[in-house]
Amino acid sequence: MLLLPPGSKAAGAKLYWQKWLPDGNPKALILLIHGYAEHSGRYQYFAEHCLDKGYGVYAVDHWGHGQSDGTPGFVPDFSVYHDGVEQLLARAKQDFPELPVVLVGHSMGGLISATYLLSRQSEFAAAVLSGPAVKAAEEPSAFLKAISGFLARFFPKLGVLELDPNGVSRDPDVVADYLADPLVYNGKMGARLAAEMLRNMTLVQQNAEQISLPLLMLHGEKDSLAAAEGSSFLDAHISSTDKMLKIYPELFHEIFNEPEKDQVLNDMTDWLDTCLAAARE
């Protein structure tokens, strides 16, 4: 378990984490930052692909997710997720201090990653954002934004948003497994977390030009849970000279769990291989 440090808004909380390592020495490490309501255990196939390509993978269950402490659907402050990334990064660097580290974030994990990069991008050789929640699938009205702030303050755990699991993947087996997984949260998102996500989406949009490290953005065009426009926005506004945007026309939200997942994963590791090779020259 990782322990959130003093100063965290969830100080003392225990976070479950795991790592996958190839048989030989890894050439780089991937810090995997999962999405809302899910957990790191859903990324076994992702990890196996990365291992075959020579990458080690470190992953944490966010506070309130999976096997970690916390309340599902709620977060006291978005910075608690950053604290978890910080502890995972420290553990990875403790194990392999000389290896380059890549940040890979999916969905809400993409938002966590993007906001973390605003202050800590120097820690990473590159980053990959998969279906990042940078823009909402439906832009909330001014009234909804105003009422969300009120609810977040006075009724922070009140359920205000429910995600449609059918938007996860076109593969019915993936959706069935998602719904049957006891570590996946299927309740409503609380008002505080919803407000924190909206606030951090705005933060990324207003400060995207501060991101300058090599960045790969991957998104399904038919993503109904996180708008593909968010990835397009990042591509247009970040300062990175080494960047790539790939939008897959038919894919839903979880592009690493779509029928075309092997293509997506190969696109990711091929880009990382090229990026890391260029950095070594």
Determine the pLDDT at residue 138.
65
Q: Are 37 and 181 in contact (CB under 8 A)?
A: no
Counting the structural domains of the chain, the total is 1
Q: Are 113 and 103 in contact (CB under 8 A)?
A: yes
Determine the pLDDT at residue 144.
61
For residue range 73-102, list pLDDT tens digits in order. 999 999 999 999 999 999 999 999 999 999
Name the token pair of 192. Answer: 């505080």
Q: Which residues are catalytic?
A: 107, 223, 253
Determine the pLDDT at residue 238.
98
* CATH number, residue 31: 3.40.50.1820
Query: What secondary structure does DSSP assign to 181-193, as a single string?
Result: -TTS--SPEEHHH
- Angle between helical axes of 191-207 and 108-120 (0-180°, round to 10): 50
Determine the pLDDT at residue 22.
97
Owning domain of residue 195: 2-280
> What is the pTM (predicted TM-score) of this model?
0.95
Taking 70 as the pLDDT cut, the residues of the chain under it are: 137-147, 150, 152, 154
Determine the pLDDT at residue 140.
61
Q: Which of 231, 217, 228, 230 is nearest to 253 (CA)?
A: 228
Instruction: Give just the sign of the alpha carbon dihedral 237, 139, 250, 171.
Output: positive
